[in-house]
């Protein structure tokens, strides 16, 4: 199972939210590149970069942060937040991302996302499935779409989606463990899916449990920033 550290960006700074609430923001570092270099030094290969300003503004805002990271590290970066047009996607790929996450637009403009899958390849597009009370939430988790999360994922898998990053918003930033039950139900319905678990990871044991249910990857955010999982822990996981 891949371990993917997360950097969320507001005003060019590395932050974390609790349960997707922009009012519950903690700034951890004013220099995201510095944080990315720490991850790379620990032997990590991937990075989940989220433009929270972009998610709220409905357009990509912090692509320069992405460019700075991809120009100065060898991390394989997936980028999400604010992607609405094919030009947005091209800008992000040109800035060095290897994958993009289609979140809100996958709910509101299905045809555009299917076009991206066709144009860029299914391996380049990650479906963002952010769930609140079992339903998909959009626009930085501010809006409830009313769509059942598992149906939403299954329908996109039938259209060729291979990768899905799923966040249980109730778990995100709370350090109370990931949503094992939700992920188990998703993988029971769509066993060939490459599921990336996000939200709630608080310990190495949480990561082991996600591996046991066959998640393809797990995103670690606040647990690192709050010192629950240390850089040396990442090194030991890679060695294991």
Active site residue 130: yes
CA nearest to 113, candidates 158, 51, 156, 162:
156
Tokens of 8: 């969320």
Would strands 13-18 and 21-29 be described as parallel, antiparallel, or unpaired? antiparallel
Encode 98-128: b = buried (16+ Cβ within 10 Å), e = exposed: ebbbbbbbbbeeeebbbebbeebeeebbbbb
Q: What angle do CA 135, 136, 142 make, to 5 degrees?
A: 110
Active site residue 233: no
221 DSSP 8-state letter:
-
CA atoms of 140 and 181, how far apart (whole Å): 23
Tokens of 141: 């988790």
Catalytic residue (one of 8, 53, 88, 172) = 8
User: CA distances (Å), 153 to each of 136, 157, 199, 206, 237, in order?
Assistant: 10, 6, 17, 23, 29
Do residues 8 and 221 lie in contact, with contact meaning Cβ atoms separated by under 8 Å? Answer: yes
Catalytic residue (one of 130, 168, 172, 233) = 130
Tokens of 145: 């779409």
Catalytic residue positions? 8, 130
């Amino acid at each position: 199972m891949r371990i993917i550290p997360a950097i969320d960006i507001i005003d060019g700074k590395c932050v974390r939210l609790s349960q997707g609430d922009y009012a519950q923001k903690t700034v951890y570092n004013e220099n995201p590149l510095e944080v990315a270099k720490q991850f790379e030094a620990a032997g990590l290969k991937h990075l989940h970069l989220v433009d929270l300003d972009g998610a709220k503004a409905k357009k990509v805002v912090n692509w320069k942060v992405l460019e700075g990271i991809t120009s100065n590290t060898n991390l394989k970066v997936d980028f999400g937040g604010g992607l609405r047009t094919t030009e947005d996607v091209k800008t992000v790929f040109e800035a060095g991302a290897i994958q993009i996450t289609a979140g809100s637009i996958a709910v509101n403009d299905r045809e555009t996302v299917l076009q991206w899958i066709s144009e860029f390849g299914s391996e380049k597009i990650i479906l963002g499935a952010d769930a609140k009370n079992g339903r998909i939430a959009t626009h930085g988790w501010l809006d409830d779409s009313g769509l059942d999360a598992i149906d939403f994922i299954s329908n996109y898998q039938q259209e060729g989606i291979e990768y899905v990053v799923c966040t249980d918003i109730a778990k995100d930033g709370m350090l109370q463990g990931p949503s094992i039950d939700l992920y188990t139900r998703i993988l029971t319905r769509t066993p060939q899916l490459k599921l990336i678990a996000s939200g709630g990871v608080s310990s190495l044991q949480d990561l082991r449990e996600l591996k046991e249910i066959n998640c393809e990857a797990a995103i670690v955010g606040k647990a690192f920033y709050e010192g629950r999982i240390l850089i040396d822990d990442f090194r030991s996981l890679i060695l294991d």
